[in-house]
Amino acid sequence: MAASDQGPETGKNHDTHKHVDLIPPEFLRVIAVWSLIPSYIAVGGFIGYLIDRAFGWFPYVTGVGLLVALIMAVRDMYRLRDEM
């Protein structure tokens, strides 16, 4: 069997390269925390708006959806902050 048939060399240490993050994990956590409020409000408002359009109750369910979304976003922000 030739040396090229054996596959990669096993004698080399492939763990000598260190993994370098382009964006630090702490920065990504901060982005995740602060992106919660706009994303939750957008989804809550959109779902409330769709329900309002379907039943003709326009401002009521949209307002409730926005309020619930804000409460959930703040709750999840505190959860993520405690994990940091």
d(Cα 52, Cα 44) in Å, to the nearest integer?
A: 12
d(Cα 36, Cα 74) in Å, to the nearest integer?
A: 8
**Global pTM?**
0.64
At 1, the pLDDT band (50, 70, 90 cuts) reads low
Q: Is the pLDDT of residue 17 over 90?
A: no
Nearest-5° Cα angle at 44, 50 to 40: 150
What's the pLDDT at 83?
A: 75
